[in-house]
Amino acid sequence: MSRLHLTTFQIGTPRKRGEGVRIGTVRFLPRGVPKKDYAKRDYFDIWFPILAPSRDLIHSYKGKESDAHARKTFFSRYRRELRSNADSRQAMQLLTALARHTPLCIGCYCEDESQCHRSVLLMELNRVAAELPPT
């Protein structure tokens, strides 16, 4: 298996050298920010909501981020969403194939990655990469 050039970031934080293309895996666009300013303000280069949790899932978790049981349920449901949707599976395959050759960085608004879907997405992308044939 090839090594993936894949990291995570919090939307709005300064870019790090070598992180590559920033992909916003969020359901909702930032309010009050013109699209032309997303990259300039260190938000993301590409908005990729297909890999974000569904609206229903986000709403069921909102306000419960510090509850360990709610977080475990959220992560489990999110993992199930990713795996059960053909579009998400194909998107994950695309990102992992690209990340074998070029740096990519997946991000979300959450400050604490351990309570955020991007930690689960990173694990899922690594899982998908292990299942893909070598390039």
- pLDDT tens, position by position, 73-85: 999 999 999 999 9
3-state helix vs strand vs coil in the chain, percent to 5 = 45, 10, 40
Does 45 fall in a domain? yes
Taking the C-alpha atoms of residue 114 and residue 80, their distance in angstroms, rounded to an integer, is: 18
What does the pLDDT read at residue 29?
Answer: 95
Range of the domain at 32: 6-131
- The answer to whether 6 and 122 are in contact (CB under 8 A) is yes
Q: Give the full edge-to-edge strand order of the sheet including 46-47.
A: 6-10, 104-108, 21-24, 46-47
Of 104, 126, 105, 122, the residue nearest 114 (C-alpha)? 122
What's the total number of domains in the chain? 1
- Which tokens hold the place of 55? 């609206």
**Predicted confidence (pLDDT) per residue in 35-62, tens digit:** 999 999 999 999 999 999 999 999 999 8
Does 64 fall in a domain? yes
Does 1 fall in a domain? no
Taking the C-alpha atoms of residue 135 and residue 119, their distance in angstroms, rounded to an integer, is: 25
Query: Does residue 65 carry a pLDDT above 90?
Result: no
Does 22 fall in a domain? yes
**Dihedral angle at the C-alpha atoms of 54, 55, 61, 63, nearest 10 degrees?**
150
Does 95 fall in a domain? yes
Query: Does residue 1 carry a pLDDT above 70?
Result: no
